[in-house]
Structure formats: C-alpha cells, structure tokens
Amino acid sequence: MLPWDWAEERLAASRNYWIVTAGVDGEPSAAPVWGVWADGAVYFGTNPRSRKGQNLARDPRAVVHLESGDEVVILYGEVELSEVEDSVADAYEAKYDYRPPGKSLFRLQPQRALAWLEKDFPTTATRFDF
C-alpha cells in the first residue's frame, strides 16, 4: 500500500492535470488543465463558458488524474469555484510563469483517491477515503 504523502508529492509536482466531467447526456469529457495542489485540493483554471465550465456548473462531480500511467493518482470529488488565498495564486504563478486573473479558481478537494505503481500494481494499489 502507498502512503498518502506519496500521492501528494506527485500531485504537487504534476505540471498538468486531466479533468473529467460529464456532459448534458452523461457523456464523459476529459481535458488537461494547469493547476496546483495546495491545502489538500487541486486548484485549476478554466473558462466558465468552456465545455468543462458548463459541465461543472450543471454537475460538480469530477475526476482528476495525473498524466502518468506508471505512477498513478486519481481523485474523485466535487468541484466548486473558490476564492483563493494569495499563496495559491503565488504557487500557480511560480509554476507556470502566469498569474491567474481574478481571485477565483476551480477547486476539487478529493472525497476518494486511488493510487498505484504500475510496475507493482498488485501490492501498491491503494484507496484513500476522506
């Protein structure tokens, strides 16, 4: 089993996060976004008028996963538009050399997470419930 701090290290180090939302008819929609892991949540930006933004306004449930299929971290939860502390905006700017406009980002605090190492799946597959 993997410890939660192993997953948090990968979440913090990830450059891109894949966000999966549900369309009007339930069709899944996946897209990469920039974001940061801070205070136990993924903060990310997207235009509220984008497909992701519209999907989240209608149904806040989402899945977030990292790009790696070798060191896997998958988060499940509900997304909310959240006013962010300067420390989160500073971390975003340090990571991407871009400061998000305004004071709000989308935020997913996981309710459940899955993690594993592909090379050792049977012994590392771990589920975290929060």
**How does pLDDT run across 6-46, given as a tens digit for each residue?**
999 999 999 999 999 999 999 999 999 999 999 999 999 99
Token pair recorded at residue 91: 């971390």
Q: What is the mean pLDDT of residues 49-69?
A: 96
> What are the sequence ranges of the domains in the chain?
4-118
**How does pLDDT run across 80-99, given as a tens digit for each residue?**
999 999 999 999 999 999 99
CA distance 128 to 130: 7
Q: Which one-letter amino acid corresponds to residue 125?
A: A
**How does pLDDT run across 44-56, given as a tens digit for each residue?**
999 999 999 999 9
Please give the pLDDT value at position 102: 87
pLDDT-above-70 percentage for the chain: 100
pTM score of the predicted model: 0.95
- Are 2 and 117 in contact by the 8 Å Cβ rule? The answer is yes
CATH topology of domain 4-118: Pnp Oxidase; Chain A (2.30.110)
DSSP per position, the chain: ---HHHHHHHHHH-SEEEEEEE-TTS-EEEEEEEEEEETTEEEE---TTSHHHHHHHH--EEEEEES-SSEEEEEEEEEEEEE--HHHHHHHHHHHS-PPSSSEEEEE--SEEEEEEGGGHHHH-EEEE-
Handedness of CA 52, 56, 62, 64 (dihedral sign): positive
